[in-house]
Structure 1
Amino acid sequence: MTFHFHPLPHFRDQKEVTAQMADLKFGEEIELDKGLSTPEYGVLVHGMFMDGFRWDEKEMVLTDSIKGIMNSPLCMFNMEPKMDFVPDEADYIAPLYKTSARAGVLSTTGH
């Protein structure tokens, strides 16, 4: 199984998400989620950052970093699971790290 990543025109302030989640009770949703359409398949992912480039929210593409900003937030994505998905050759395929350290054993694969 692979994933087809669908970028969405939404950004999340992680401090605000954390603050709203602290007061959340079972069965409730945070204010930031109200009005978001839920995808039919997959999950919505947020809180990722990029190093060395940024997301252009107007054009919905990757572009050069802004001078002085090392890590730029990435927009929300719908990660849609697909069997035997082959991405378009024009798509940028990037590794995803859980931390800024790019060394050691990967917890997802054990390599």
Structure 2
Amino acid sequence: MILRFAFFRDWIDGGIPIAYWISSFYFPQGFLTSVLQGYSRSNMIPVDQLSFEFVMQDTSDPHELEGAPEEGIYIHGLFMDGAAWSYDDMAIDDQEFGTMFVKSPIINFIPWKAELVWEKYRCPIYKTSIRAGTLSTTGHSTNFVLAIEVETLMDPSYWTLKGAAMLTMLND
């Protein structure tokens, strides 16, 4: 709670952040929709035709970023469950034995016209490690945020069978 307050206070006092701490949002889906809406309005493209392209950065530390991205937004604060990230291959990888969670790299969410790429792994993002949620009044899960496409050197089904996902927060 205190860290969330500090993030929003810094945003108010210091202006638009270079990277957004996704875990600070109670309803991250709403924030991500607002990013698409802003892009939709400035480019005169219907928002229902938009999605995100996901570009992993070579760091998980937002302080190492030199500035905001040219397009889209940087998201940080995700944790990988059932997988890790290989900075050498810039692809999803097996986690080390005995490691439960690994910090995800910073991700550049770039709005673009929707198009699925099936050779990538569609990694789900959940708010918590309990991968279930009740349906809200909008008909959406209260726990599932969205699925992002990440590079993989293996068949995407490998990661599906391992249950690889990203989380906005850990249980502790």
Same fold, judged at TM 0.5 (above) = yes
2:66 aligns with 36
- SS state of the match for residue 122, structure 2? coil
Aligned ranges 1:1-111 → 2 under 5 Å: 1-12=50-61, 32=63, 36-84=66-114, 86-105=115-134, 110-111=140-141
**Larger RCO (CA under 8 A, 6+ residues apart):** 1
Q: Note the aligned Cα RMSD (angstroms).
A: 2.1
- Count of residue pairs brought into register by the alignment: 91
Give the TM-score normalised by the residue count of structure 1: 0.71
Amino acid at match of 1:92: Y
Give the Cα–Cα distance (whole angstroms) in 1 for the partners of residues 135 and 105 of structure 2: 24
Q: How far is 1:109 from its partner?
A: 5.5
Amino acid at match of 1:6: V
Give the Cα–Cα distance (whole angstroms) in 2 for the partners of residues 4 and 105 of structure 1: 28
User: Structure 1 stretches of 5 or more lacking a match?
Assistant: 18-31
- SS state of the match for residue 52, structure 2? strand
Instruction: Give the structure with the larger strand fraction.
Output: 2
Give the TM-score normalised by the residue count of structure 2: 0.47
1:24 aligns with none
Deviations 1:47-93 (A, max 9, x none): 11111110011111111110010111110010001122x24322110
Instruction: Give the structure with the larger helix fraction.
Output: 2
Q: How far is 1:10 from its partner?
A: 1.0
Q: Which runs of 4+ in 1 moved over 6 A?
A: none
Give the Cα–Cα distance (whole angstroms) in 2 for the partners of residues 48 and 63 of structure 1: 16
User: Structure 2 stretches of 5 or more lacking a match?
Assistant: 1-49, 142-172
- SS state of the match for residue 125, structure 2? coil
